[in-house]
Amino acid sequence: MRGSPPLRLAGVALGVAGIVILVGADALDELGGHLLHALAIVGAALRYAVNTVLARRARTIDPNVLATGTVATGFVLILPFSLIADAPWTWC
């Protein structure tokens, strides 16, 4: 792995600071009303980061298998939320 833990932490802090600068500090004031949406975005970014780390470590596995696993995991993670939000059993 590249970089020491303090450097990685500094990289994460710089990334968050960059997002705050781009979005604007005023957007943080209204976070309470859109907390679920913000958490979904953060979760997606974390999942993308985990996938990147796993893909780098699993160089011997076929990339198609890794992609299929990523899509299947995403489906399993989003399915409960989709069912709750859409309530397809009430469509009739």
pTM of the model: 0.49
Residue range 42-47: average pLDDT? 78
Please tell me the predicted confidence (pLDDT) of residue 32: 64
Task: Please tell me the distance from the alpha carbon of residue 43 to that of residue 51, in angstroms, as a whole number.
Answer: 12
Task: Please tell me the distance from the alpha carbon of residue 24 to that of residue 66, in angstroms, as a whole number.
Answer: 36
Please tell me the predicted confidence (pLDDT) of residue 51: 77
Question: Domain residues of the chain, as ranges?
Answer: 1-57, 62-92
Task: Please tell me the distance from the alpha carbon of residue 32 to that of residue 28, in angstroms, as a whole number.
Answer: 8
Dihedral (C-alpha) 29, 33, 36, 42: value to the nearest 10 degrees? -20
Q: Please, which pLDDT band fits residue 70 given cuts at 50, 70 and 90?
A: confident
Q: Please, which pLDDT band fits residue 72 given cuts at 50, 70 and 90?
A: very high
Please tell me the predicted confidence (pLDDT) of residue 76: 92
**69: pLDDT strictly greater than 60:** yes
